[in-house]
Structures are given as structure tokens and as C-alpha cells.
């Protein structure tokens, strides 16, 4: 069991390095292999969601991130990434209007976050 976990960790690290290098197809292929071995790994679903967000596949990204959050409700990365989707889609009219009483407006906070 220990070697299987170690193997999954190495596969995840390989997927992350591919993602970090902008090699999204290779990263997704590695994540497919991880999911075939352990389909309930929240980190794998989260990374898949982030890659799909970067590719502009927001509906698929939302599904992957929702699954990651379902698998591990305390996995804050998945919930944070899921919350970014409306802003990446530039669907912020409602949140911005709702934040008119905030200082600074919520949309400005998110715009700064997305630039960093």
C-alpha cells in the first residue's frame, strides 16, 4: 500500500511539473492515469480543474473542482479555484453590484488577485 501511495505521489508531481511548464495535454494524461488508479483523489481533481480553467474550459473546470470539493470538503484550494471561475468568465456584474458598499469593491480585490 505504501509503495502505491508513493507511486501516486510521483505521478501527481509529474503532472504538476507538466502543468507548471505549460504542457497541459501531458499533465491531463498523467491525471487520467492517477484517476484510473485512485478516482477519489481531491488534489488530482483540483489540478485538472485548474488546467481546464487555464484552457478556458470553464464548465469542465467547474465540474472537476466541484468534485474535488465534494471528495474533500476541507480542501480550500478547490473551493478557492471554484470561486474564481465567474471572474475568469468575466461574469462579475452581480458580485460587483452587490459589493458597492464595500471598500475596496470585491471585484477590485479579485482583479488584483488574478493579476498576481
- Percentage above 90 pLDDT, the chain: 67
pLDDT at 107: 52
CA separation for the pair 92, 85 (Å, rounded): 10
Phi, psi at residue 90, to the nearest 5°?
Answer: 60, 35
Rounded to the nearest 5 percent, the helix, strand and coil shares of the chain are 75, 0, 25
Residue 116 above 70 pLDDT? no
Q: What is the pLDDT of residues 1-22, one digit of tens each?
A: 445 777 899 999 999 999 999 9
Give the model confidence (pLDDT) of 68-93 as tens digits.
999 999 999 999 999 999 888 887 66
CB environment 28-52: b (16+ within 10 A), e (fewer):
bebbeebeeeeeebbbbbbbbbbbb
Amino acid at each position: 500500500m505504501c509503495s502505491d501511495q508513493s507511486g501516486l505521489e510521483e505521478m501527481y508531481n509529474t503532472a504538476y511539473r507538466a502543468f507548471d511548464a505549460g504542457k497541459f495535454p501531458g499533465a491531463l494524461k498523467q491525471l487520467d492515469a492517477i484517476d484510473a488508479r485512485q478516482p477519489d483523489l481531491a488534489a488530482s481533481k483540483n489540478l485538472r480543474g485548474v488546467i481546464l480553467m487555464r484552457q478556458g474550459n470553464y464548465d469542465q473546470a467547474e465540474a472537476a473542482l466541484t468534485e474535488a470539493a465534494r471528495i474533500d470538503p476541507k480542501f480550500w484550494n478547490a473551493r478557492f479555484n471554484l470561486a474564481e471561475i465567474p471572474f475568469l468568465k468575466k461574469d462579475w456584474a452581480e458580485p460587483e453590484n452587490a459589493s458597492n458598499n464595500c471598500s475596496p469593491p470585491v471585484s477590485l480585490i479579485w482583479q488584483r488577485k488574478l493579476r498576481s
